[in-house]
Amino acid sequence: MHCCRSTRSIAKVATRCAKKMANAPATPPDDIACLIAVYNRLKTFRLVPPSSILDSLACLFFFADEGCKANLVIGVKENPYMTHAWLEINGAVANEIDAIVLNYTPILQTNNEGHLREASDRPCADRCLA
């Protein structure tokens, strides 16, 4: 049951951030690079073990507070089954290496209202993320 609450919480938080960023103007590439550098310096002070989902959510909050429109993406892969999360800005991967992201199939994106609604409406067993 903890897993389902976590997935539901991620969908709720992502929905709030998506609404906050919906009317944000496009961020220039130089500003994006600067924001990513600042965030990477700040995350060295994290108090919890590294997790792509927590890291990407924190980065999403940071970008939203700075007025930068970002898209949280959660993807899965098989053999072995794994989940991974990353941010995209203007269609480019922001907080991860492109080669890693290419191994995952997106299942949830904050810029897709249908994905967020579906994540909240599916039966519990289907919503759980590893």
* pLDDT computed for residue 76 by the predictor: 92
pTM for the model: 0.70
Q: Which residue has the tokens 């089954």?
A: 81
Angle between helices 113-121 and 2-21 (to 10 degrees): 160
| Selected residue with higher pLDDT from 13 and 53 | 53
* pLDDT computed for residue 68 by the predictor: 83
Q: pLDDT tens, 25-84? A: 777 778 888 888 888 888 777 676 678 888 888 888 888 888 888 888 989 999 889 889
